[in-house]
């Protein structure tokens, strides 16, 4: 059985082992694959594995041996699912592998903003502390999280995990969710979307990207927010209208933003968030801790074993 990994590097740049996958078949593992290389590299494959490489109907129709596409991520918008169904191709994803790491990144951004970690580290290295007449040095507001309201947009596994962390800081947790109030624990309050933007100190995005959630953060909703409010996005870049967010930050309509994702990745040089005031950007790494990637690879192998046993798990093309 032929297995081809099209873009292995981001999942495993060399610190983890592919041995468990190699035990399942003849493996070709490519760090990166250009669109024009897909057909040639995967022409003999029964199984292809992809993180972000786009698999279209054209690819699926030309790969005569293909039976299984494994997405090395939770999101699968890079696969033509309708074409996979048409050609009876099984498509699996990796759900929930990064939940702890993403929640950790949410609060890495929140704590960096509220405690101004990067600012003060830079100032110390710029000799501001050594030249201070006092035992400490601070020149910005420092924000305590106790009692602050955090609004979570969607309450799946990552949203719930983020809620638990927030409760540990003594925050009040509000959620915009399809779940009923009876399905929520008493410490999480269900709220309407605009109410969350209007009243919360921090809004954190955890919803999937759909036509209804695309640019859910826009000029209208940003205008509802407090001037000291913070936006966090570890979901998808297209959840935010980036020009509207940059304008809100630059005009001091809101205080700050922490984002791990952008609408185009890698970002274009003219992305307005790259130069926006108080916008802190990490390069789509919330998912990428060693523990998270190791979980991903273990689930990947288990998905393939389940497929080989005739009982595929995490099958999304059904």
pLDDT for 102-146, tens place per residue?
999 999 999 999 999 999 999 999 999 999 999 999 999 999 999
- Domain co-membership, 277 together with 297: no
Range of the domain at 234: 99-281
197-235 tens-digit pLDDT: 999 999 999 998 899 999 999 999 999 999 999 999 999
Residue-level pLDDT at 77? 86
- Own/partner contacts of 11-14, CB < 8 Å, gap of 24 or more, are 11/51, 11/72, 11/293, 11/296, 11/297, 12/293, 12/297
52 falls within a domain: yes
Q: What percent of the chain has pLDDT over 90?
A: 97
Question: String of b and e for 268-291 (b: at least 16 CB within 10 Å)?
Answer: eeebbbeebebbbbbebebbbbee
* Same domain, residue pair 68 and 215: no
Pairing of strands 2-5, 26-29: parallel
Q: What is the 3-state secondary structure (H, E, C) of the chain?
A: CEEEECCCCCCCCCCCCCHHHHCCCEEEECCCCCHHHHHHHHCCCCEEEECCCCECHHHHHHCCCCCEEEECCCCCCCECHHHHHHCCCEEECCCCCCHHHHHHHHHHHHHHHHHCHHHHHHHHHCCCCCCCCCCCCCCCCCCCCCCCEEEEECCCHHHHHHHHHHHHCCCEEEEECCCCHHHCCCCEEECCHHHHHHHCCEEEECCCCCCCCCCCECHHHHCCCCCCCEEEECCCHHHECHHHHHHHHHCCCCCEEEECCCCCCCCCCCCHHHHCCCEEECCCCCCCCHHHHHHHHHHHHHHHHHHHCCCCCCECCC
| Residue 64 placed within a domain | yes
Average pLDDT, the chain: 96
CB-CB contact of 301 with 21 (8 Å): yes
My answer on whether 267 and 180 are in the same domain is yes
CA dist 258 and 179 (Å) reads: 27
Q: How far apart are CA 212 and CA 68, in angstroms?
A: 30
Same domain for 223 and 146, yes or no, is: yes
Residue 150 tokens, joined: 């955090």
Same domain, 235 and 187: yes
- Identify the pLDDT of residue 75: 86
- Say whether both 8 and 76 belong to one domain: yes
Based on the domain organization, do 119 and 200 belong to the same domain?
A: yes
Q: Report if residue 171 sits inside a domain.
A: yes
Closest by CA position to 245, among listed 310, 255, 199, 236 = 255
Residue 107 CB: number of other CB atoms within 10 A? 19
Establish if 318 belongs to a structural domain. Answer: no
Q: Can you tell me the distance from the alpha carbon of 34 to that of 54, in angstroms, rounded to the nearest whole number?
A: 9
In a domain, 314, yes or no: no
Task: State whether 71 and 117 are in the same domain.
Answer: no
For residue 315, is it within any domain? no
* Residue 317 located in a structural domain: no
Nearest-angstrom CA–CA distance, 309 and 306: 5
189 lies in the same domain as 303? no
Give me the number of domains the chain comprises.
2
CA 279 distance to own-chain centroid: 17
Looking at the fold, whether 44 and 58 belong to one and the same domain comes out as: yes
Same domain, 15 and 87: yes
| Least confident range of 83-87, 152-156, 209-213, 243-247 | 209-213
pLDDT at 318: 67
Determine the average pLDDT of the residues in 97-105: 96
Give the residues across from 91 on adjacent strands: 69
Q: Do residues 124 and 42 share a domain?
A: no
For residue 189, the cross-strand partners are 174
In a domain, 275, yes or no: yes
Query: Model-level pTM?
Result: 0.92
C-alpha 222/C-alpha 244 separation (Å) is 8
226: domain CATH number is 3.40.50.720
Omega prior to 42 cis, within 30 of 0: no
Residues annotated catalytic, as ranges: 236, 265, 284
């Amino acid at each position: 059985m032929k297995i081809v990994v099209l873009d292995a590097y981001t999942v495993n740049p060399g610190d983890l082992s592919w041995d468990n996958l190699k035990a399942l078949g003849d493996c070709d593992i490519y760090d990166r694959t250009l669109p024009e290389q897909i057909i040639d590299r995967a022409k003999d494959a029964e199984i292809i594995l992809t993180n972000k490489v786009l698999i279209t109907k054209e690819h699926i129709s030309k790969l005569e041996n293909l039976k299984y596409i494994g997405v090395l991520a939770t999101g699968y918008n890079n696969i033509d699912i309708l074409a996979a169904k048409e050609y009876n191709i099984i498509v699996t994803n990796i759900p929930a592998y990064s939940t702890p790491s993403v929640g950790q990144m949410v609060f890495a951004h929140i704590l960096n903003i509220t405690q101004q970690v990067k600012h003060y580290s830079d100032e110390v290295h710029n000799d501001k502390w050594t030249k201070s007449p006092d035992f400490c040095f601070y020149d910005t507001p420092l924000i305590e999280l106790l009692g602050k309201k955090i609004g979570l947009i969607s309450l799946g596994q990552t949203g719930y995990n983020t809620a638990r962390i927030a409760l540990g800081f003594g925050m009040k947790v509000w959620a915009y969710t399809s779940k009923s109030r009876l399905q929520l624990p008493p410490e999480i309050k269900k709220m309407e979307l605009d109410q969350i933007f209007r009243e919360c100190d921090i809004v954190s995005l955890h919803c999937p990207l759909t036509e209804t959630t695309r640019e859910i953060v826009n000029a209208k909703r940003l205008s509802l927010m407090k001037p000291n409010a913070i936006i966090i996005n570890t979901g998808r870049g297209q959840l935010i209208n980036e020009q509207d967010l940059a304008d809100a930050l630059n005009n001091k309509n809101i205080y700050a933003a922490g984002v791990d994702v952008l609408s185009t990745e890698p970002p274009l040089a003219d992305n307005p968030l790259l130069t926006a005031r108080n916008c802190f950007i990490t390069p789509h790494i919330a998912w990428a801790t060693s523990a998270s990637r190791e979980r991903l690879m273990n689930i990947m192998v288990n998905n393939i074993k389940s497929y080989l046993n005739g009982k595929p798990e995490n099958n999304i093309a059904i």
